[in-house]
Structure 1
């Protein structure tokens, strides 16, 4: 019997969950579905500048799990950009944090008012 999948901690849902060519109609064969936990790895690693190990701590999963989630997310982003497919962000095995500082790490958007982690580092 396989181990049950561990829910990944996610600090916030995306403000927009659909991206793609402006004039595109959504065809069920021509869209990409990115899960919320895949989105969170892109946000933490590419936007916030986290290392995979720090991202894993934030999401409360193993670094190897983050690595595979991140690689899949980047593949989906590339397919959407290169092939002009609509990207939807929805679903996945995740749990939203409650926004309390003692549970969340420095990458949480909920208790920082949406500022970027690097802004906080620069102010010291």
Structure 2
């Protein structure tokens, strides 16, 4: 029996989850599925400038797991760009980060999909 997958901590969901050629027809053969945890590794490493070790600490997983997820994500993005396929971000084994400031160093928690305000801001209103 295989070991259950560990949940990966993700700070924010993407503002848009569908990317690709403007004239593309969305069907299963022309679709590349990027999981939310793969999106998070790209966001942390390429956009925020985290090392793989820092990314692993942020997502609460092993560095070798980050390396595998990152490589898979880059291949999917390349397939989408080179072959003109639509890229959809959805699914995966993740949980949204609940800490708002102390444990999270990427500041993504404050930019959740829900209007850009943090959960504490929403509770005060």
TM-score (norm 2): 0.85
**How much is the aligned-residue C-alpha RMSD, in angstroms?**
1.5
Q: How many residues of Structure 1 are paired with residues of Structure 2 in the alignment?
A: 113
Could you tell me how far apart the structure 2 residues matched to 1:112 and 1:17 are?
Answer: 15
Could you tell me how far apart the structure 1 residues matched to 2:111 and 2:93 are?
Answer: 24
SS at match of 1:9: strand
Report if the CA contact (8 A) 1:37-1:92 is conserved.
Answer: yes
Could you tell me how far apart the structure 2 residues matched to 1:70 and 1:92 are?
Answer: 14
Could you tell me how far apart the structure 2 residues matched to 1:108 and 1:7 are?
Answer: 20
Deviation at 1:99, TM superposition (A): 3.9
Report if the CA contact (8 A) 1:99-1:108 is conserved.
Answer: no
Partner of 2:123: none
Could you tell me how far apart the structure 1 residues matched to 2:20 and 2:106 are?
Answer: 26
Spell out structure 1 runs of 4+ moving beyond 3 A: 111-114
Gaps (5+ residues) in structure 2?
Answer: 117-125
Q: CA, structure 1 residues 57+2, in 2 after alignment: closer, same or farther (shift >3 Å)?
A: same
TM-score (norm 1): 0.86
Report if the CA contact (8 A) 1:36-1:94 is conserved.
Answer: yes
Partner of 2:36: 36
